[in-house]
Structure 1
Amino acid sequence: MNDTGSLQYQAYHTIKEQILSKALDSEILYSETRLAKELGISRTPLREALQYLSQEGYITIIPSRGFKIRRLDRETMRESIEARCAIEGFCVHLAVQCQDEERYQKLLADMKESLRLQKAALASGSFSTSFTEADHQFHLLLVHFAQNSEFEHLFQRLLYTIHLTTSNALAITGRAQKTYEEHLEFYRHLENRDSLQAYQTLIAHLMMPLKLNLI
């Protein structure tokens, strides 16, 4: 959604922020009419914004009734993690096999900067938001490297589920530090162009939330 001046975008951005900040309750069925009044817009741009949010996995639209914030259950989490394994795992292969050395070194440099931000976040008193952002960026760098619009679209569809999964995992004492260490191990294997070790480290890292029994 790129039209930053539109009412649709404003509604989309506002609702998305309310979802991520947990200002909206996943137990409540929200009315389009009521929300449109609260946002001061007509139902048409609101509906368009809700369609985008539905496509990106943030909400479930219930025809003629309204919408609900999507909740994370174990099946949804498992499916999203397996989809990430398929996408990011293949991206590892593309990265290691890349013949454009300058492009490959740019990926490594960007990942190294992300690792620096993760480490700085861990050292801060309140790391949750900043660490989560750096965490997501680390993985997005790998997906962006593939230059595959379908991968980008699929990953965008998974972002909210990824956000919920990450938030739950990082709430476990010591998990953020362990996440950083797993990222660092993956980076070192990638730096050495060790495709197998990089792949295995990544898959184990992505599958970890299932082992943690978050739900």
Structure 2
Amino acid sequence: MNLKLHSPGATDLVSQAYAYIKRKIVTNELKSGDALSISALSKELNISRTPITAACQRLEYDGFVNIVPKQGVVVRFLTVNEARDITELRAAIETYSAKRVFHVIDKEDIANLEEGFVRMAKSRVNLYQFMLEDTGMHKYLLGKGSNDQFLSIVDNLYDLSVLIGLMTGQDPARLDDILQEHRNIIDALIDKDMDRFVRSLDINIMNGFISLSGQYIRNVGTLV
């Protein structure tokens, strides 16, 4: 594919290259251990090597690749310890924000959350799409808090969470549990029960890590 990037600015080219490569990683098209070819990406995107290199440096900073001497750019393997750190940071930010946004959630928001729940249930056969809908609900709730710093931090964590889920796979029974946990979150909002809302959100996030840690042992065979 010869994807032409239309923005002439160097910064725009770096951002577009970053988004393009990151999507390939998050969707598991590029898997952990795969080496990236700067030259091939340059031809594929029809831009020079310089913004590709800058994009890879940014991806390394954000935790998606390693730049290894004599090996080049390699897609990272994310460890279970990193998954735990990501989960704990998400839980801290999202449960704090949940207490702030609870009182501004209105009927329109609940309707939007219900629509997202239906989409997630329908996407159960497509793990990537299911996980996008999963994180979409969390992003929606976090966005109600109007804290741009939270959003900028957690947005990258969500991408890493999707990557970890695809890398380890998900037990089909866990998908059923996630749907029920989302149902509990929405029902708590409908019932105007803030404590149950915050608790249900925290349970959903932390259960994700508990499930992932088990998948690491089964599929990856390591906890480090």
Q: Normalization by structure 1: what TM-score?
A: 0.82
Structure 2: which 5+ runs fail to align? 217-224
Conservation of the 8 A alpha-carbon contact between 1:32 and 1:46: yes
Alpha-carbon distance in 1 for matches of 2:185, 2:173:
19
**Out of 9, 14, 17, which is 1:11 matched to?**
17
Distance 1:154 1:63, change over 3 A: farther
**Out of 82, 90, 94, which is 1:88 matched to?**
94
Alpha-carbon distance in 2 for matches of 1:57, 1:113:
32
Kindly provide the amino acid, as one letter, of the partner of residue 136 in structure 2: Q
Conservation of the 8 A alpha-carbon contact between 1:110 and 1:141: no
Question: Could you say which residue in structure 2 is the equivalent of 1:61?
Answer: 67
**Post-superposition offset of 1:105:** 2.9
Q: Percent identity?
A: 25
**Out of 91, 100, 113, which is 1:111 matched to?**
113
Alpha-carbon distance in 2 for matches of 1:116, 1:61:
41
Mean Cα deviation higher: 75-84 or 16-25: 16-25
Mean Cα deviation higher: 135-144 or 31-40: 31-40
**Post-superposition offset of 1:59:** 2.1
**Post-superposition offset of 1:164:** 2.4
Alpha-carbon distance in 2 for matches of 1:148, 1:170:
32
Distance 1:159 1:67, change over 3 A: farther
Structure 1: which 5+ runs fail to align? none
Distance 1:109 1:49, change over 3 A: same
Query: Is 1:139 matched up with 2:141?
Result: no
Distance 1:195 1:48, change over 3 A: same
Alpha-carbon distance in 2 for matches of 1:128, 1:117:
13
**Post-superposition offset of 1:176:** 1.2
Query: Is 1:127 matched up with 2:126?
Result: yes
Alpha-carbon distance in 1 for matches of 2:107, 2:63:
33
Instruction: Give the secondary-structure state (helix, strand or coil) at the position aligned to 2:192.
Output: coil
Instruction: Give the secondary-structure state (helix, strand or coil) at the position aligned to 1:26.
Output: coil
Instruction: Give the secondary-structure state (helix, strand or coil) at the position aligned to 1:174.
Output: helix
Question: Could you say which residue in structure 2 is the equivalent of 1:76?
Answer: 82
Instruction: Give the secondary-structure state (helix, strand or coil) at the position aligned to 2:215.
Output: coil
Count of residue pairs brought into register by the alignment: 206
Conservation of the 8 A alpha-carbon contact between 2:128 and 2:162: no
Mean Cα deviation higher: 4-13 or 170-179: 4-13
Alpha-carbon distance in 1 for matches of 2:210, 2:112:
29
Moved segments of 4+, more than 6 Å: none
Distance 1:167 1:191, change over 3 A: farther
Alpha-carbon distance in 1 for matches of 2:121, 2:85:
29
Question: Could you say which residue in structure 2 is the equivalent of 1:214?
Answer: 215
Instruction: Give the secondary-structure state (helix, strand or coil) at the position aligned to 1:214.
Output: helix
**Post-superposition offset of 1:140:** 0.7
Question: Could you say which residue in structure 1 is the equivalent of 2:220?
Answer: none
Kindly provide the amino acid, as one letter, of the partner of residue 109 in structure 1: A
**Out of 19, 24, 33, which is 1:27 matched to?**
33
Q: Normalization by structure 2: what TM-score?
A: 0.79
Conservation of the 8 A alpha-carbon contact between 1:107 and 1:145: no
Conservation of the 8 A alpha-carbon contact between 1:114 and 1:134: yes
